Chains A and B, each alone.
Chain A
Amino acid sequence: MSCAQFRESILEAALTPARDAYESGLRPGLRAHLADCAACRELLAQERALAGSIDAGLRARVAGGPSAEFVARIRQRIGAEPATASWFRRWQPTLAGAMVLVIAVTVWFSAPERIAVPPQQPVSSTPQPAGPISPRPTESVTTGADQGIRPEASLRPNVARPPQEAQAPELWAEVLIEPREREGVRWLHAALQSRASRIAAVLAGQGATREDPLRPLGFADLQVAPVEIAPMSSGSEAGGGKSVAQQEK
């Protein structure tokens, strides 16, 4: 084998910490090559010298000890620590936790009982954009909760509700639909009413009262009314359209 093939082995061997036992730890092939090759022996010697210098330099870097006053200065600095620091630091985590707890409880009890959602008013039909395009006929569907959908909702569970909540204003929702969707909306409303009444009957059989939290299952009547919107270009006559309300039961 050539010297180049042994080079890495020589470099690695030179860095082996236990250099006293180095010769015996050499691989037989490397040992035989070194016996014949003066250049590789020279390389090994150089690398071992370099490793030795590195070790000596590292030892020199961390050699020596502190001055004679070193320990006395530490005692002095420790003595200068505030007397209260020791116990305060020990109880610091506990104190911090207690403060956080107090703040949390204060915030919890000082916050408003409920977060009020403003009651929704019936939404009037929205006029179509002005232009030569004649408005598409639409219908206004309005439904609401006579006793069910609560206009206000409490975000806190298990909190006693104030008495005024029972007198919450009714909530009405008004949407615009295409005439062809009328039957579908009626069907949906009827289905929901039917299911709500069935659930209410089951609850009643189980002794549930009107005060039951499942009250929102109730549905109000459905009103379908056509909406006429005159094009904006018709000037003052734009508002002349009239709605015909059709009440259904």
Chain B
Amino acid sequence: MEGSVLTGEPREATLEREFEQRLADSSRLAFRVALGVLRHREDAEDVAQEAFVRAYRNFHRLRDRDRFQAWLARITWRLAIDRLRAAGRRARYEDSAAAEWMAADRTESAQPSVEQMAATREFQRRLDRAVDELPEKLRAVVLLAAIEGHDTQEVARLLGIPEGTVKSRLHIARRKLAEKLR
């Protein structure tokens, strides 16, 4: 059995150590990808955990370890989509997401009025619905781009597509969303 050339440790141990490092680096990404699809924190955590378990099972097959995050993001996305389809809990997700945005919004601005809160909640519902109705390719781009710190280059790396494609898809997605929310 081959092992680490530098440390001489067995291959299994090297893989474990590498995976542990990836786990620490990518847990937030997996969670956010799942949350973007599911809009429910507990389910998103569960799906992200499942994605890590699957990644762990097949980690030895991943030749280019630098592509771990892209690989993990795709696994998570697929699992989250499957979960969403299987669960059919869209209504529950809508309320949850709206409540979360309300909480996030309060921290950024002064106390909103009741009308503002209602308008915000209604707008978030409509936005979530519009995002869910986007074709999967557009939805993936728009949600990955919305994750903090992700520019179009990062989204292109995660999805394995050219940056120009990301930009055009992003523009189309935003235009579609604006048309539905106008």
Contacts and interface: CB of A to CB of B under 8 A. Distances in A.
A64 B174 contact: no
B147 interface: yes
B85 interface: no
A51 B128 CA distance: 14
Of A12, A71, A85, most buried by chain B (CB within 10 Å of CB) is: A71
Contact of B124 (A14, A50, A60, A64): A60
A58 B143 contact: yes
Given A65-B28, A66-B28, A74-B52, A60 B100 contact: yes
A11 B178 contact: yes
Given A67-B45, A70-B49, A89-B57, A61 B36 contact: yes
B14 interface: no
B48 A66 contact: yes
Nearest to A76: B49
A212 interface: no
Contacts of B53: 74, 77-78, 81
SS of B interface (majority): helix
Interface string B36-63: 1001010011001110110011101000
A30 B109 CA distance: 34
B177 A61 contact: no
Contact of B101 (A17, A61, A70): A61
A232 interface: no
A107 interface: no
B127 interface: yes
A15 B170 CA distance: 10
Contacts of A54: 127, 174, 177-178, 181
Interface string B147-182: 110000000000000000000001100110110011
B171 A15 contact: yes
Interface residues of B, number: 47
B104 interface: yes
Contacts of B145: 58
Given A17-B170, A54-B174, A54-B181, A63 B148 contact: yes
A64 B100 contact: yes
Nearest to B170: A17
A64 B29 CA distance: 10
Given A64-B41, A85-B57, A15 B174 contact: yes
Interface in B48-101: 48-50, 52-53, 56-58, 60, 97, 100-101
A21 B122 CA distance: 31
A64 B42 CA distance: 12
B170 A61 contact: no
A230 B49 CA distance: 89
Contacts of A12: 175
Contact of B178 (A50, A59, A61): A50
A57 B35 contact: no
A44 to B, nearest CB: 13
A18 to B, nearest CB: 11
A58 B146 contact: yes
B24 A71 contact: yes
A47 interface: yes
A53 interface: yes
Contacts of B32: 62-65
Given A47-B178, A74-B27, A81-B57, A58 B48 contact: no
27 contacts: A15-B175, A15-B178, A50-B181, A51-B174, A53-B123, A53-B181, A54-B127, A58-B131, A58-B145, A59-B146, A60-B97, A60-B105, A61-B39, A61-B97, A61-B146, A62-B148, A63-B104, A63-B148, A64-B35, A67-B41, A71-B24, A74-B49, A75-B23, A81-B53, A89-B57, A89-B58, A90-B60
